[in-house]
Amino acid sequence: MKVRETSIAGLFEISLDINRDDRGSFREAYQREKLLALGLPDLGVVQWNISTNVSRGTLRGIHAEPWDKYIHVIAGEAYAAIVDLRDDSPTYKQYEQFTLTPENAIFVSRGLGNSYQTLTDDCVYGYLVNQHWSPDAQYTLISYRDPELAIPWPVSPPIVSAKDEGHPSLAERG
């Protein structure tokens, strides 16, 4: 495993070691001790979530949940845009882009807006979190179409839920 710091504090990209042979492959997608030794914070995993996405172009986000995430695409590929939505951050409103595959992962600190669009059919997107989901959790939700961010989504038109279509822009959020 290798860790790369990004321009946004609390956002890291992790390159995974893949062992392949004629049967397929094996990878450690998350290994606490190795990641701690490489300087990542201890996630303290309490829940594992998996999102299956049938069609290329499926877009989810932008959601900033009140917990940290360790994100890994189990199958397929996805384009991820992680936006700093922490009002007091020097990189507020900036984002980093990643192509997520089974060969990498990202660590996303709370307050960073997570969003992704699938680049393949049958994309399986998994993430570990350090707090249990709650219907009372306070999220920051921003429109994936926000003109101030101008995220270059790679697949058009996107497949988006009605809920994600209704998120406000940064200007509307105030």
User: Which residues carry out catalysis?
Assistant: 63, 127
CA dist 15 and 32 (Å) reads: 14
Distances (CA, A) of 93 to 35, 40, 101, 120: 27, 23, 25, 28
Token digits of residue 136: 């009372």
Q: What are phi and psi of 113, to 5 degrees?
A: -80, 125
Helix%, strand%, coil% for the chain, nearest 5: 10, 45, 50
Q: Residue 134 contacts by C-beta under 8 Å, 6 or more apart in sequence?
A: none
